[in-house]
Structures are given as C-alpha cells and as structure tokens.
C-alpha cells in the first residue's frame, strides 16, 4: 500500500470524495424519511445541518482541549487541520443529539423519531468517513503480526487497519437499520403487546452496537487520553452501551418501577346489588 500514499494528491482527493459520498448519502436518507413522515422539510433540514455543524465543532474543540501538551493559541489550532488534525467523536455525538431535541419541538414530533432518522443518516456517514481515513492513511491501529497488517505512512511496522474494521461494521449496521426501520414497530418483543411500537429502536441499536465496537477497537488503537489507567473513549463507549440498553428497554414499553393500579380491588365472586334483592 505504500505506493498508494506516495501518489501525491490522489489519496487526499479520494478521501474527500468518500466523505462527500457519506454526506450526500446521509442527506438523502434523512430527506427520504422526513418526506415519508410529512415533515416540514425546511425545518427538518435546518435541524440536520445545524446539528451536524455543532457536532463537528464540539468534536474538534474537545479534541484540542484534551491535547494539553500542545502549545499555541486555541483558535489558531482549531482551523489548522493540517498541523493539528483530529476530532473526538463522543463530544460531537452528544452535542448533535441534544440539539435535535429542539428540532423535534419545532416540528412537534417525538424527539426519538428525529433521533432515529438522524441515526440512520449518521451510520451511513460514519462508514464512509472511516473509509476516507484509511485512504489517506490516518487513524491506524497498533502494531500487529497478522497477515492483513498494513504499513501506514510514518510507520515502520504493520498495524491493524482499524479504519477498515470500523467502516465494514458501520456499513453492515446501516444495512440492518435500513431493513429494520419499517419493521421494528411490528417486532412483538419490542412493542410489548401494543398495537405499534415507540420510536427509538434505531437509536438504541446504534448506541449498543457502537458502544461495543468502540470498546473492541480501543484495544487495537493507541490511547488518546488516559484516566485511571483507562482510555477516555472506553468510558464513553461503556456509557453508550448502557444508555442504549436502557433506551431499548424503556421504549419497548417496559419499566424499572412497578406501577400500582388505582381503584378498588373486586373479588371474582363478590355479589353486587342489582336491585332485585329483597328489601328487609
């Protein structure tokens, strides 16, 4: 693969093309679902664009803030992607999903429904984003002796192509979510004996899957920031997995608390006064 990264501007151009495919595909899938549900498309796309931009800003800013060993002005480093590349995805993820709550209120829709559609678009984009990282030789994993290890730029020994692992996982997840989106409302185990199910299934599956994926990949990547001998992304991945399980459980109609039914208890054989009893 070294010959590829020596082809001057071609890897960078190919990487941007892949990112563009991810952006256009994400926009199309979000637009399609918004149109099917008769959303106000202008308001929906305003929310999508602003949520994505805020997410990118938060991911970039948090990455630089966590790199405390770097010197220089923060605002200058923020725009200098060539010298200080990188983003911290967890911060961007939280920021974009929080903003979509406001979009749901503007559309007078359930926030979980908006989150489901955004999740479908996001998973598609993540698959192509990781492919672009592989094409430009960025975000490589730890060294390995496995036969599929690749010598990336500025490396002297083969490393795990974690970009390929992540891209394949997210694109497979997208395929499942696209299949499940029109069907999950009829999953008997999910709708909990109701006629239809609540939205939130796609979000829950994404959080559970990406949480597990993040934990797995963290052992194949160099640590970003360590806290108590744990890589910071591992904490977020664990939290992501737990939140996903809770959402899946609660949105399926289950509850962590047993609700007591109001009203008097009537025994099965209790007699009632029908007006035909003899008056004493």
| No. of helices (H) and no. of strands (E), the chain | 10, 2
208 or 183, which is more confident: 208
User: Does position 279 have pLDDT exceeding 50, yes or no?
Assistant: no
Q: Is residue 63 part of a domain?
A: no
Q: How far is CA 235 from the centre of its chain?
A: 16
pLDDT band at 210 (very low <50, low <70, confident <90, very high): very high
Which of 63-67, 121-125, 183-187, 253-257 has the least mean pLDDT? Answer: 253-257
Q: How many domains does the chain have?
A: 1
Q: Is residue 69 part of a domain?
A: no
Contact residues for 179 (Cβ-Cβ < 8 A; gap 6+): none
pLDDT band at 266 (very low <50, low <70, confident <90, very high): very low
CA 136 – CA 125 distance, rounded (Å) = 17
Predicted confidence at residue 213, as pLDDT, reads 95
Predicted confidence at residue 272, as pLDDT, reads 45
Q: Is residue 22 part of a domain?
A: no
Mean pLDDT calculated for residue range 147-165? 90
Residues of the chain above pLDDT 90, percent: 46
Mean pLDDT calculated for residue range 223-249? 85
Q: Is residue 220 part of a domain?
A: yes
Which of 57-66, 106-115, 168-177 has the least mean pLDDT? Answer: 57-66
CA 268 – CA 249 distance, rounded (Å) = 34
77 or 41, which is more confident: 41
User: Does position 242 have pLDDT exceeding 90, yes or no?
Assistant: yes
44 or 271, which is more confident: 44
Predicted confidence at residue 70, as pLDDT, reads 53
Tokens 């949520």 correspond to what residue? 51
Which of 14-23, 70-79, 214-223, 261-270 has the least mean pLDDT? Answer: 261-270
Mean pLDDT calculated for residue range 91-116? 91
CA 51 – CA 266 distance, rounded (Å) = 53
pLDDT band at 232 (very low <50, low <70, confident <90, very high): confident
Contact of 150 with 163, CB cutoff 8 Å:
no
Predicted confidence at residue 120, as pLDDT, reads 94
14 or 275, which is more confident: 14
User: Does position 81 have pLDDT exceeding 90, yes or no?
Assistant: no
Contact residues for 18 (Cβ-Cβ < 8 A; gap 6+): 128, 129, 131, 132, 135
Predicted confidence at residue 193, as pLDDT, reads 67
The pTM for the full model equals 0.83
Mean pLDDT calculated for residue range 140-157? 89
Mean pLDDT calculated for residue range 99-121? 92
Q: Is residue 62 part of a domain?
A: no
Q: Is residue 185 part of a domain?
A: yes
> What residue numbers bound the domain in which 229 lies?
113-251
């Amino acid at each position: 693969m070294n010959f590829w990264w020596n082809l001057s501007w071609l890897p960078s151009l190919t990487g941007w093309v892949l990112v563009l495919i991810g952006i256009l595909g994400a926009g199309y899938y979000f637009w399609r679902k918004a149109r099917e549900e008769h959303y106000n498309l202008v308001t929906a796309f305003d929310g999508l664009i602003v949520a994505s931009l805020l997410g990118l800003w938060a991911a970039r800013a948090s990455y630089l803030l966590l790199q405390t060993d770097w010197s220089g002005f923060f605002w200058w480093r923020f725009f200098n992607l060539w010298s200080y590349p990188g983003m911290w995805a967890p911060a961007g993820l939280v920021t974009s999903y929080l903003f979509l709550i406001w979009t749901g209120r503007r559309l007078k829709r359930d926030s979980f429904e908006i989150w489901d559609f955004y999740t479908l678009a996001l998973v598609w984009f993540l698959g192509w984003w990781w492919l672009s990282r592989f094409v430009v030789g960025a975000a490589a994993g730890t060294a390995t002796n496995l036969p599929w290890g690749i010598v990336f730029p500025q490396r002297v020994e083969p490393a795990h192509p974690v970009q390929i692992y992540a891209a394949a996982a997210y694109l497979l997840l997208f395929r499942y979510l696209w299949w499940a989106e029109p069907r999950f409302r009829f999953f008997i185990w999910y709708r909990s004996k109701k006629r239809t199910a609540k939205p939130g299934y796609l979000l829950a599956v994404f959080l559970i899957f990406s949480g597990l994926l993040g934990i797995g990949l963290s052992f194949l990547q160099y640590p970003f920031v360590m806290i108590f001998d744990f890589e910071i992304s591992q904490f977020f991945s664990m939290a992501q997995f737990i939140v996903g399980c809770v959402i899946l459980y609660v949105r399926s109609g289950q509850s962590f608390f047993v609700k007591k039914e109001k009203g008097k208890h009537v025994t099965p054989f209790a007699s009632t006064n029908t007006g035909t009893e003899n008056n004493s």
